[in-house]
Amino acid sequence: MGLDRISLGIWAFAALPLAVLLVGLLRFRWSAPKAGAVAWIAAMAVGAFVFGGSPFGLSLANAKGLSLTLFVVTIIWTSVLLYNVVEQSGAVKTISQRMTRLVGEPLLQCLLLAWCLSAFIQGITGFGVPVAIVAPLMLAVGFEPVTAAVATLVGHAWSVTFGSMAGPFYALQLVTKLPARESAYWIGAMLFVPTVLTGFAVAHIYGGVRSMAQGAPAVILTGVAMGLTQWALPVLGAPQIGSVAAGLVGTVVIVLISRLGPYRETSRTERQDDGQRDGAPPAMGLHVALAPYYLLIALALASQTPTLKQLGKTLAWGLDYPQTSTALGFAVKAEKSYAAISLISHPAPLLVASVIAAIAVYAGSRHLSASSVRKAWSVTTEQCVPTTVSIATMVMMALVMNDTGMTSTLARGIAPVAGKLFPLVSPYIGVLGCFMTGSNTNSNVLFGAFQVETALALGVSTRIMAAVQSAGGSLGSAIAPAKVLIGSTTVGLSGREDLVMRKSIPYCMLLVLVLGVISWFSVYVLFPQVM
């Protein structure tokens, strides 16, 4: 049986691991590690008995999956550890309080917290942490519970691909094998308009159409600044700080706008009232609180200098994998230094340096004790072990599907059915992956190669379709069940997750529809020559 002609039966077998994952997560409500493990077993069985994968080829696919897992989870562990050290020191509280005191006008405060601060936090750690921090902070400032939860869920979604120190971006790059800077260019381009539109969405969540009109100047100026920053830094070779820097830039712009024009008087009054309510400012200074992030940004930029970039190529570790082929003739090219980890440019070493700096700075200023550091590590372990297991199983499943020809089969079966509408539908596949797994990283691992294969089958740009996959998964974070649960619980709406989900879905679907339209015009009208 060859793969040149695809029957409905062979296509169904190729789709079986994804179906198992989807049913396990949504129907049986398995945990992500359990669903991923069962789906991986299904992929192994189908790959061996239907697609002709050899024991050697399947072993190599799993080994590559573990290599990719190591590349991604080292970013996750170190970024979460940095955040937990900062949180244990009280610096997160300081940063949040100082930001809310800088802006008093309620609409601008909503934008600052739900749209900018959440993106900054997403850039550092992800995994629902921005929602867990910002939603209750908004509640404390005076926003309604539903507004706080929904605005944060929708507001942070634009920053997810280059969040978590660009973990989702690196995962996409590794499974698609597309050049890093070209991938960064198109992802930033595809997310530019949604970045602005999420600001309008937050304004609408706060006060409807009237707030959208009132906040339009602030949203446009801030959204353009954040969108350009998120596009420029990854293109310049520093994707690790794309969301961190964009969130900081947005914060600065919002603060400056609050002192100008129609927002000025309200902000001044609110700041005075806020100072009377809150009393004395926090003991830790803002620059002390931000010190580890200043270092992280400086290291990320320094790692892109020619000398250090060249050094990073020599100080890198990765495994070589030989070429393999299945009994059905599906060939997989050899890989050299697959998922290599550079001691200079990989985010994990930069994060480790920032963690050490954070401990030194906070301990030196008497804001962090040895017991707090131990607690930070304990919390990090609790958060990251389940995530590591789920990523490992899903990545191995995706690599088995890719190396046995299942992904190619799925793409060649869908391409003639979707036809020219595929670019319009493509971002919803990213949303589905994020909804299923709760992670843009996992979504990119599951569907990144599929999007590229489908683009090849249709003869459209692989670079744009891969970018749309990640951008769709990023926006889909607004309705990921795990994040909705976190947002609902932290604002006192436990048991009312359905309300928060219903409020979030329309914004998410509209944003993704706009992304789909941009995708269609990009591949067929604006950039048909880009492949």
Q: What pLDDT does residue 493 have?
A: 77
pTM: 0.77
User: Is residue 129 within 8 Å of 83, Cβ to Cβ?
Assistant: yes
Classify residue 206 by its DSSP letter. Answer: H
Q: How far is CA 460 from CA 146, 281, 355, 523, 528, in A?
A: 41, 56, 43, 6, 7
Distance CA 97, CA 76 (A): 26
Q: What is the mean pLDDT of the segment spanning 299-304?
A: 77
| Burial class (CB within 10 angstroms; exposed 0-12, middle 13-18, buried 19+) of 421 | exposed
Instruction: Please identify which residue in the block is written with the tokens 């954070």.
Output: 358
Q: What pLDDT does residue 502 have?
A: 86
Question: pLDDT tens for residues 174-228?
Answer: 889 899 899 999 999 999 999 999 999 999 999 999 999 999 999 999 999 999 9
Q: For the ranges 142-151, 218-227, 362-371, 434-443, which has the lowest average pLDDT?
A: 434-443
* pLDDT above 80: residue 2: no
Distance CA 453, CA 464 (A): 12
Average pLDDT, the chain: 86
What helix, strand, coil percent values describe the chain, rounded to 5?
Answer: 80, 5, 15
Q: What pLDDT does residue 188 have?
A: 95
CA-based nearest residue to 162, from 98, 212, 236: 236
Give the other-Cβ count within 10 Å of 80's Cβ: 25
The radius of gyration of the chain's CA atoms, rounded to the nearest angstrom, is 23
Q: What pLDDT does residue 308 have?
A: 82
For the record, the structure tokens of 336 come out as: 């050299």
481/178: higher pLDDT:
178
| Burial class (CB within 10 angstroms; exposed 0-12, middle 13-18, buried 19+) of 433 | buried
Supply the angle between the helices 481-490 and 129-141 in degrees, to the nearest 10: 30
Q: What pLDDT does residue 192 have?
A: 97
Q: How far is CA 87 from CA 127, 200, 367, 380, in A?
A: 15, 30, 11, 12
Q: What is the mean pLDDT of the segment spanning 246-275?
A: 70
3-class secondary-structure state, position 295:
helix
Distance CA 350, CA 346 (A): 7
DSSP H helical segments within 422-492, as ranges?
A: 422-437, 440-458, 462-476, 481-490
What sign has the CA pseudo-torsion 67, 72, 75, 81? negative
Q: What pLDDT does residue 161 have?
A: 94
Beta bridge partners of 316: 342
Question: pLDDT tens for residues 119-173?
Answer: 988 887 776 778 877 887 787 677 898 999 999 999 999 999 998 878 899 989 8
Supply the angle between the helices 55-89 and 91-102 in degrees, to the nearest 10: 70
Question: pLDDT tens for residues 62-77?
Answer: 999 898 888 878 877 8
CA-based nearest residue to 47, from 373, 397, 382, 376: 397
Q: What is the mean pLDDT of the segment spanning 400-422?
A: 85
97/6: higher pLDDT:
97
User: Is residue 392 within 8 Å of 68, Cβ to Cβ?
Assistant: no
38/502: higher pLDDT:
38
Q: For the ranges 100-114, 119-133, 223-237, which has the lowest average pLDDT?
A: 119-133
State the DSSP H helix or E strand holding residue 341, giving kind and residue range, or none if neither: strand 335-342
CA-based nearest residue to 156, from 185, 136, 189, 129: 129
Q: What pLDDT does residue 281 have?
A: 42
**316 — phi, psi (to 5°)?**
-135, 150
Q: What pLDDT does residue 494 have?
A: 67
Q: For the ranges 116-120, 157-161, 292-296, 503-507, which has the lowest average pLDDT?
A: 292-296
* pLDDT above 70: residue 252: yes
* pLDDT above 50: residue 3: no
Q: What pLDDT does residue 4 have?
A: 44
Q: What pLDDT does residue 358 have?
A: 93
Distance CA 94, CA 290 (A): 9
CA-based nearest residue to 118, from 150, 75, 84: 150
For the record, the structure tokens of 428 come out as: 């919803």
For the record, the structure tokens of 323 come out as: 């070429």
Distance CA 358, CA 356 (A): 5
Q: How confident is the model at residue 495 (pLDDT cuts 50, 70, 90)?
A: low
CA dihedral 398, 399, 401, 407 (to 10 degrees): 80
Cα 371 to its chain centre, rounded Å, is 31
Question: pLDDT tens for residues 378-393?
Answer: 988 987 888 788 878 8
Question: pLDDT tens for residues 515-531?
Answer: 999 999 999 999 998 87
Q: How confident is the model at residue 443 (pLDDT cuts 50, 70, 90)?
A: confident
Q: What pLDDT does residue 6 have?
A: 66
User: Is residue 109 within 8 Å of 100, Cβ to Cβ?
Assistant: yes
Q: How confident is the model at residue 274 (pLDDT cuts 50, 70, 90)?
A: very low
**324 — phi, psi (to 5°)?**
-135, 165
Q: What pLDDT does residue 261 have?
A: 65
Beta bridge partners of 335: 321
